[in-house]
Copies of this chain bind each other. A is one copy, B any other.
């Protein structure tokens, strides 16, 4: 049960934008270079996040991307769900409505999938991009130079 590279790369890209929040638009090329991601591929992921309202873009020279809200107001869960879809271990646990499946009567496994789902989402919804940045700066005060333009 793995996340695809979409969620992984996307979150790393958002971390970069969070680190540089308030410093104007950052071009994708910079993010792709810093995070070792194919720029063209990242473009698609960022497009998804733009459509979902997580980032804003500025076109043309000196353009780039920026978070559309402060890092403290964007959770890891929001990012991952936008790129990966609902975080649920099976389809029938995506929402809480009673599922329609071919097995009549009570499903002995669904309650487990729902517990897994809630537990996963609780984790990612409790962490914001700001938390990630704070954590990074705490662990690597010496590496702040890495994130100047």
User: Which parts of A59-113 form the interface with B (CB within 8 Å)?
Assistant: 76, 84, 87-91, 102-103, 105-106, 108-109, 111-113
Indicate if A44 sits at the interface (CB-CB under 8 A): no
User: CB of A149 within 8 A of chain B?
Assistant: no
A10: min CB distance to chain B, Å: 10
- Report if A124 contacts B (CB, 8 A): yes
Given contacts A11-B112, A119-B122, A132-B108, contact A1 B139 (CB under 8 A): no
Task: Tell me the count of chain A residues lying within 8 A, CB to CB, of chain B.
Answer: 42
**Complex: chain B residue closest to A81, CB-CB:** B1
The number of times this chain is found in the oligomer is 2
User: Given A36-B103, A76-B112, A135-B111, do A89 and B11 touch, yes or no (CB 8 Å)?
Assistant: no
Distance (whole angstroms) from the CB of A109 to the closest CB of chain B: 5
Report yes or no: B1 in contact with A84, Cβ–Cβ below 8 A: yes
Interface SS of chain A: helix, strand, loop or mixed? helix
- Chain B residue nearest to A102 in the complex (CB): B36
A55 lies within 8 A of chain B by Cβ = no
Chain B residues positioned under 8 Å from A51 (CB to CB) = none
- Residues of A bordering B, CB below 8 Å: 1-3, 7-8, 11-12, 15, 35-36, 76, 84, 87-91, 102-103, 105-106, 108-109, 111-113, 115-116, 119-120, 122-124, 127, 132-133, 135-136, 139-140, 143, 146
